Amino acid sequence: MYNAIWEKYLSVIRILLKRAANEDQSLQLNASDFEKTGPQKKTGFNFTLKFINGRVDNLATMSPVAKELSGVLLANPQIRELLQQGESHLTMSTKFVLGIKVISRMDKVSESQPVEAGESDSYTQD
């Protein structure tokens, strides 16, 4: 029911997820897109979607609009990879603003150049 709406915003959401590593992002959604699908129950269209290492932390309590967003996001390989890098929260307000916040991102450690015991990053001159 909401998949087509989320697909429409997918490329923008991907860009904002990348930018959210530096600062919180927001996207004003078109309210009429959601209102055309019919009225929501008393919770409205607002939700908080929490991804931890690529998995939805609170899926059981989500509204259909949030569940479908999580499905669309995880079906996209680029977005799924971003969501697997730590913890991210996506929130939608009653004013149809989608907020994107990256709580933490895991740094990928390069295994090709291990640090030997006794090596130091600092240089001292004798």
Domain range enclosing 10: 3-37+44-105
CA distance 99 to 80: 18
Question: Residue 90 phi/psi, 5° resolution?
Answer: -120, 125
Q: Is the pLDDT confidence value at 54 over 50?
A: yes
Q: Is the pLDDT confidence value at 105 over 50?
A: yes
| Angle between helices 3-19 and 64-75 in degrees, nearest 10 | 60
Average pLDDT over residues 52-69: 88
Computed over every residue of the chain, the mean pLDDT equals 82
SS3 21: coil
Q: Is the pLDDT confidence value at 80 over 50?
A: yes
71 touches 3 (CB < 8 A): yes
Average pLDDT over residues 50-55: 93
73 inside domain: yes
Q: Please count the structural domains in the chain.
A: 1
117 inside domain: no
Would you mind telling me the total number of residues written for the chain in this entry?
126
The DSSP code for 61 is G
C-alpha dist (Å) from residue 29 to 53, 74, 93, 112, 118: 26, 20, 10, 43, 54
77 inside domain: yes
Adjacent-strand bridge partners of 15: none
Name the residue with higher pLDDT: 60 or 91.
91
Q: Is the pLDDT confidence value at 111 over 80?
A: no
pLDDT digits (tens, 9 = 90+) for 2-36: 999 999 999 999 999 999 999 999 999 999 998 88
Q: Residue 86 corresponds to which tokens in the numbers above?
A: 């730590």
Please give the span between the terminal C-alpha atoms of the chain, in angstroms, as a whole number.
70
Q: Is the pLDDT confidence value at 83 over 60?
A: yes
